[in-house]
Amino acid sequence: MASIIESGWLYLVTHFSDFQLASLGSFFIHESVFFLSGLPFIFLERAGWLGKYKIQRKMNSSAAQERCIMRLILYHFGVNLPVMIFSYPLFRYMGMQSSLPLPSWKVVLTQIIFYFILEDFVFYWGHRVLHTKWLYKHVHCVHHEYATPFGLTSEYAHPAEILFLGFATIVGPAITGPHLMTLWLWMVLRVLETVEAHCGYHFPWSLSNFLPLYGGADFHDYHHRLLYTKSGNYSSTFVYMDWIFGTDKGYRRLKALKSNEVEVEAGSKQI
């Protein structure tokens, strides 16, 4: 398996420059993973399939979904692509490399875990700042146009927010100067995580059912349903920051009430 990956990587570095791979290659991978993972949730909602796993009963109109897609394309080409192009010198300066040999899986795993932890910490505080009155009204309200989120709304935001919170995603790699393959893997995992958190469905196989500290769709969907002054659940991936600072109290109360209702209903059926 390792030899196959190295052969594929050798082909890439032989036929494309570092700039092309780091900028255009990263953009291509991001767009592919984002839309291929996010579009199925639009089709699920329109078709009404797996409705029993949908967190909210409210549905988004086809027009609202299409507006989201068109603006995303505009934001990605107008903001994301230029950022990837102009950040290339910074990552090269910080030590990013693309040559063989590829890093060991231990190095990759250690760096990815560090990125997730650091990103969650930085994102939490940046997200809380965006929920202050002025910034919410003029910037963050764009992301909250969809009170019933679906996968693609994960990156639907004001350009200023894309730049502001995007810092949380790139600060880890900027510090460590990883191999480009590690950077791509981090980007893929981060995109899949945020699409899942906004998908609007809580499945039996959702990661939040197996990883105690993982937030997932149910955790973040609560954030979108409430007004900005009462939302809470500001974390991106995990739940511990909200737990430590008490910004998940409303969510935990709601979960406790639902749990009690289920227990009462089960007890009445037994009687």
Q: What 3 state SS string does the chain have?
A: CHHHHHHHHHHHHHHCCHHHHHHHHHHHHHHHHHHHHHHHHHHHHHHCCCHHHECCCCCCCHHHHHHHHHHHHHHHHHHHHHHHHHCHHHHHHCCCECCCCCCCHHHHHHHHHHHHHHHHHHHHHHHHHHCCHHHHHHCHHHHHHCCCCCHHHHHCCCHHHHHHHHHHHHHHHHHHCCEHHHHHHHHHHHHHHHHHHCCCECCCCCHHHCCCCECHHHHHHHHHHCCCCCCCCCCCCECHHHHHCCCCHHHHHHHHHHHHHHHHHHHHHHC
| Helix 180-197 / helix 159-176 crossing angle, nearest 10 deg | 140
Mean pLDDT on 148-163: 97
Residue 207 in any domain: the answer is no
Domain that holds residue 145: 2-192
Neighbours of 118 (CB within 10 A): 17
Judge whether 214 lies within some domain.
no
Q: Is residue 115 part of a domain?
A: yes
Which residue in the block uniquely carries the two structure tokens 């699920």? 44
Q: Is residue 241 part of a domain?
A: no
Is the whole model's pTM more than 0.75, yes or no? yes
Contact present, 234 and 127 (Cβ < 8 Å) = yes
Whether 227 is in a domain gets the answer no
Q: How many domains are contained in the chain?
A: 1
Show the tokens assigned to 193: 């995580």
Q: What gap in Å lies between CA 124 and CA 241, rounded to an integer?
A: 7
Assess whether pLDDT exceeds 70 at residue 263: no
Residue showing tokens 């993973």: 33
Whole-number pLDDT of residue 129: 95
* pLDDT reading at 9 higher than 60: yes
Q: What's the confidence (pLDDT) of residue 270?
A: 56
User: Considering only 5-9, 88-92, 164-168, 227-231, which range has the smallest mean pLDDT?
Assistant: 227-231
Q: Is the confidence at residue 126, as pLDDT, over 60?
A: yes
State the average pLDDT for the chain. 93
For residues 67 and 145, the answer to whether their CB atoms sit within 8 Å is no
Residue 259 has pLDDT above 90, yes or no: no
Domain membership flag for residue 198: no
Domain annotation covers residue 187: yes
